[in-house]
Amino acid sequence: MQRSLGTPFPLIGCAALAWTERLRTLARLLPTLLIFFTILGGIYGGVFTPTEASAIGAVVVVALCMRRVTWQNLRETLSQTGTVSAMIYAILFSGVMMSRLLAQTDVTPALVNFIVRQHPNPYIIFFLITIMYVILGMILDTFGMLILTLPFVFPVIKSLGFDPIWFGVYMTLLMAVAMLTPPIGLNVFVMARIALWLPSLM
């Protein structure tokens, strides 16, 4: 492994730390380990569901053990949660209305029959769908893309003979790529907050 090819990371005085200081630093990892064992232990032990596990990890560990939650943070969190939930439900409602419209007007069967009658190369259609999702990733988030496009994309994929499970795996990877495309690129903003030492992400 050639370390010179990697990104330089600011290591300040790591070699000069005594073992007592290193052990004292490791104590800061205890809340993270507590979250890990609480969530996974509760899920695999049948104590709570994965959805409940996220609430347990956030409230019990972060709020009570780490004491990072204040009343101001709680108010801001509830306000942001309500805003995001309203946006998600609006997208979900629009997607359900669109799928019902496509079903009532027979647009989806007509589109599938039209594509099948053309006898196209299935991989060309698959490539065009991939390009469509990459372009949509520039203006929509993953949830909006899936809700608005799957009602007519998924029947076409099934009619072309592709396995639905592998298509779901491919869509998961494609959504990750779509979250990197500009001008939105939400994953780029996440990396900019994590990799602060990279000037190209600032």
Taking phi first (over 0 means left), then psi (-120 to 50 degrees means alpha), and beta for anything else, what does residue 150 get? Answer: alpha
pLDDT at 121 over 80: yes
**Residue, of 196 and 29, whose pLDDT is higher:** 29
List the one residue out of 167, 142, 141 whose CA is nearest residue 155: 167
pLDDT at 16 over 60: no
Confidence of residue 96 (pLDDT cuts 50, 70, 90): confident
Percent residues over pLDDT 70 in the chain:
79
Poorest-pLDDT segment among 65-69, 140-144, 164-168: 65-69
* The predicted structure's pLDDT at residue 134: 83
Q: Which amino acid is at 64?
A: L
Nearest 10 degrees: Cα torsion 173, 174, 180, 183: -160
pLDDT at 128 over 60: yes
**Residue, of 38 and 13, whose pLDDT is higher:** 38
Question: What number is the average pLDDT over the span 71-99?
Answer: 82
Question: What number is the average pLDDT over the span 1-20?
Answer: 57
Nearest 10 degrees: Cα torsion 47, 51, 56, 57: 120
CA–CA gap between residue 106 and residue 44 (Å, rounded) = 44
With H, G, I as helix, E, B as strand and everything else as coil, classify residue 151.
helix
Question: What number is the average pLDDT over the span 89-98?
Answer: 79
Question: What number is the average pLDDT over the span 110-126?
Answer: 82
